[in-house]
Each structure stands twice: as C-alpha cells, then as structure tokens.
Amino acid sequence: MSAEETLILVKPDGVARGLSGEILRRVEAKGYRITDLRMVTASRELLAEHYAEHEGKPFFEPLLEFMSSGPIVAVRAEGDRVIEGFRSLAGATDPTTAAPGTIRGDLGRDWGVAVQQNLVHGSDSTLSAERELALWFA
C-alpha cells in the first residue's frame, strides 16, 4: 500500500512572518515526508480554481486577494493518514481558538482583517488532495 499524499500550503502570512521553516520542521517532526517543495506567487486563475467551491461567497474575493498578496510555499507531503494528521497538526481554522501545540494555536492569531490569515492550508480529503496537488504541482 502506498502512502497517502496531501497538499500543504504555507500561506502568504506564514511566509512573510518567516514561519515556513518552523512549519516544515513540525511536518517532518510528525514523521511525514516532504516529497516536493516550491515557492510560488500564485496567479488569480490558480487560486480561483483552488478555491472554486467558495466562489460566490462573501469572503471569496478577499481570500483571493490575500492569497495573491505574496509568495506561498507549496508542499507535497506523504505518510500514513497524512491528510488527517496534518489537519490535526494545523489546528482549528480560527487561530484564536486553535489548541496550543498546533501550528495555528502556537503561531497564529486574529489580525482583525477581512479574511482569516491562518498560516496554512491542508487538503481535507483524498479527492481534494489529488485535485489540489494536480493544480499546484502540474
């Protein structure tokens, strides 16, 4: 059985704050393997496709604006149950309520801006991971 794969994104706020190394350290310390890594400035087209399920929602445009505001570190990671494991490691979406010990709980906070800047993205299912990895690692 081959290991599961997931997409992890260190969002522009994480890159700008110099947290990419700490986030990647936590991924590796958890025992997951980084099999591809790149820093990109995402196009609007890529982001619109990545977040297509949110199109039409009030936060869609602010989200695209935030995600295109600076470089993103895109990571292909693998390991047993890596999707579930990374999402647990990332913590709750809202950094204010994310548990201590998680990426968002330890490193994130609410900055009072239009869209939640919460440091990382992780695929939420094997189907999402396949679709997202194909977008970011074409």
pTM as predicted: 0.95
Q: Is the dihedral of CA 77, 70, 105, 23 positive or negative?
A: positive
Ligand-binding site membership of 93 (annotated): yes
Query: CA 74: distance to chain centroid?
Result: 8
Give the residue from 7, 9, 12 showing the smallest Cα distance to 35: 7
Per-residue pLDDT of the chain (138 residues; tens, 9 = 90+): 569 999 999 999 999 999 999 999 999 999 999 999 999 999 999 999 999 999 999 999 999 999 999 999 999 999 999 999 999 999 999 999 999 999 999 999 998 887 889 999 999 999 999 999 999 998
User: Does the annotation place 33 within a ligand binding site?
Assistant: no
Q: Is 87 annotated as a binding residue?
A: yes
Question: Would you state the pLDDT for residue 29?
Answer: 98
- Residues labelled as active-site residues: 121
